Amino acid sequence: MRQKIIIGFSLALLLAAVFLIARDLFRKSPSLTEASCCGDDYTALKKVDSSLLGYTRVRVIETDLRNLSGIALNEALQVFACGNKQVVVYDTSGRKTGGFDIDSMASCIAVNGNDICIGMGPRIAHHNISGKLLAIWNPSEAAGYITSIAIHDHYVYAADAVNKIVLKYDTNGKFIQDIGRKDSLTGSPGFVIPSLYFDIAFGAFNDLWVVNPGRLRVENYTTSGYLQSDWGKASSENNGFTGCCNPAHIAILPNGSFVTYEKGIDKIKVFDPTGQFQCMVAGAGSFNGNADFRLGNNNLVKDIATDTDGNIYVLDAYNQINVYKKKEL
Q: What is the CATH number of the domain that holds 196?
A: 2.120.10.30
In a domain, 300, yes or no: yes
Q: What percent of the chain has pLDDT over 90?
A: 80
Q: What's the domain range around 239?
A: 41-326
Among positive and negative, which fits the CA dihedral 224, 229, 234, 235?
A: negative
Average pLDDT of the residues of the chain: 88
In a domain, 3, yes or no: no
In a domain, 198, yes or no: yes
Given a cut of 80, is residue 78 above it in pLDDT? yes
State whether residue 25 is helix, strand or coil: helix
Which whole number is the average pLDDT over 140-156? Answer: 92
How far apart are the C-alpha atoms of 306 and 201, rounded to whole Å?
11
In a domain, 13, yes or no: no
The helix or strand, by DSSP H or E, that contains position 314, with its residue range, turns out to be: strand 312-316
Which whole number is the average pLDDT over 146-151? Answer: 98
Largest Cα span, the chain: 91
- Give counts: helices (H), strands (E), the chain: 2, 24
More confident residue, 13 or 261: 261
Q: What percent of the chain has pLDDT over 70?
A: 88
In a domain, 154, yes or no: yes
Query: At a CB cut-off of 8 Å and minimum separation 6, what does 186 contact?
Result: 179, 225, 226, 227
Q: pLDDT, tens digit, for every residue of 85-140? A: 999 999 988 999 999 999 999 999 999 999 999 999 999 999 999 999 999 998 87
On whether the CB atoms of residues 157 and 149 are closer than 8 A, the answer is yes
Q: pLDDT, tens digit, for every residue of 181-237? A: 999 999 999 999 999 999 999 998 889 999 999 999 999 999 999 999 999 999 999
In a domain, 7, yes or no: no
pLDDT for 39 = 44
State whether residue 9 is helix, strand or coil: helix
pLDDT for 41 = 60
pLDDT for 296 = 73
Given a cut of 50, is residue 2 above it in pLDDT? no
In a domain, 188, yes or no: yes
Could you tell me the pTM of the whole model?
0.87
Given a cut of 60, is residue 14 above it in pLDDT? no
- In terms of average pLDDT, the best of 10-14, 30-34, 151-155, 205-209 is 151-155
Q: In what order do the strands lie in the sheet with 96-105?
A: 70-73, 79-82, 84-90, 96-105
The number of domains in the chain is 1
Segment among 166-175, 195-204, 287-296, 315-324 with least mean pLDDT: 287-296
In a domain, 206, yes or no: yes
